[in-house]
Structure formats: C-alpha cells, structure tokens
Amino acid sequence: MRIIFIGPPGAGKGTQCMRLTQHLKIPHFSTGEMLRATRNQSALGRVVASYIDGGRLAPDYLVMRLVTKRLAMPDCVGGCLFDGFPRTVDQARMLDEYLVEKNGKIDLVLNLVADQEELIARLLKRSTLEDRVDDNAETISARLRVFHTQTAPVLDYYAGRDLVRTVDGMQSPDKVFEEILGHLP
C-alpha cells in the first residue's frame, strides 16, 4: 500500500506517519527529514539549507533524486508512506511516471487539515523544544504560503481519481489516528 500524507506545516503528518508505519508495518519517509540530513554537508547541502531556512521548496529534480533512490530500496517494494511528498504537481506527475514503470500505484491520499492559528501555535511551541531552524514566525508564514500556492494544487491532481480523504487534524493525535484508520482501503 502506498499512502501520501499532505497537509500544511504542523498539521501532524510526521506524528501520524510514525503511528501508521508501525500499524501497517511498511516504511515511512519524510522528504523534509531527507533534505535536512543533507544540509551543510556539501555545497549542494548548503543550497538545500537555503531553501529550508527560507521556507521555500527545494528544487523538484533534487527531491526526486532522493525519493527515487529511497523507493528503489527493497523495503519499499511492497509499499510505503510518503510524508510531505509530493509537494508540487510536477513532483506528483514524476512519482506517477516512476510508479507506472514499476507497476505500482498510489492507494490513498490523506489530506490533514487544521486552523492556521493552531498550526502556528504548534510550530512555535515545537521551536522551544526542538532545534528546527524553520520553526520561527517569519519562516512559518512563508511555509504556509508555499503550502497554499504550490502544494494545495496537488490535491486537485489526485481528486479526479477519488483518492483523497480529508482528515480533521484539530483533534487529539489519538482521534486523528482513529479517523485515518477508517479511511484505509
């Protein structure tokens, strides 16, 4: 099974992916984490850092290179959870092209929604607990803008295939997970 998690920053994609990966026993990967792992490690990593720190999306070609490398690993053959990918319509198209070649498909797209005030509050709170350089007021608002302009259209891309299910991310993590389980094919 291949499941995509889409949602604005702070909606709970990572939190719910961690739960679902254990429940379904399939791997989960976050393109945000993959990109953060490259930051400052090379000239390319420093370029990646400039995108993340500014709340802008890293270039599609770079993201696709990381994703296709990960998908080629044996543990992903039976399926995986995509956390924060695809984030542009072009990424979604390239993922489809890759999966068609491998006789694979997307089974479900979970659209996590939450109020903007709540998202900002969650991320500002996280900035006091963890060291995420993009969890500051200015970058959070850039990330939210980018979500609405570049990532929300990905939902329309999948909508024609009746794959998208909207999940209320304002509930407690347990309730959100319960709702997600109810959407599994």
56 part of the active site: no
Check binding of 9 to ligand AP5 (CB under 6 A): yes
Closest CA to 98 of 121, 71, 135: 71
Inter-residue contact 48 to 39 (CB < 8 Å): yes
Give the nearest distance from C-beta 48 to ligand AP5 in angstroms.
Answer: 8
Q: What angle do CA 22, 24, 28 make, to 5 degrees?
A: 65
Give the nearest distance from C-beta 83 to ligand AP5 in angstroms.
Answer: 6
Beta sheet of 164-168, edge-to-edge order: 28-30, 80-83, 2-6, 108-113, 164-168
Check binding of 7 to ligand AP5 (CB under 6 A): yes
Give the nearest distance from C-beta 185 to ligand AP5 in angstroms.
Answer: 22
Question: Known binder of ligand: residue 171?
Answer: yes
13 part of the active site: yes
Check binding of 104 to ligand AP5 (CB under 6 A): no
Distance separating alpha carbons of residues 97 and 32, to the nearest angstrom: 22
143 part of the active site: yes
Check binding of 39 to ligand AP5 (CB under 6 A): no
Distance separating alpha carbons of residues 128 and 37, to the nearest angstrom: 21
Check binding of 95 to ligand AP5 (CB under 6 A): no
Question: Concatenated DSSP letters for 156-175?
Answer: HHHHTTT-EEEEETTS-HHH
Check binding of 111 to ligand AP5 (CB under 6 A): no
Give the nearest distance from C-beta 60 to ligand AP5 in angstroms.
Answer: 7
Is residue 5 within a helix (H) or strand (E), and if so which, with residue range? strand 2-6
Other beta carbons within 10 Å of 164: 19
Chain residues that interact with ligand AP5, rule: CB under 6 A: 7, 9-15, 30-32, 35, 51-52, 55-58, 63, 84-85, 87, 91, 122-123, 126, 134, 143, 169, 172-173, 176
> Which residues belong to the annotated binding site for ATP?
10-15, 126, 171
> Which positions are annotated as active-site residues?
13, 87, 126, 132, 143
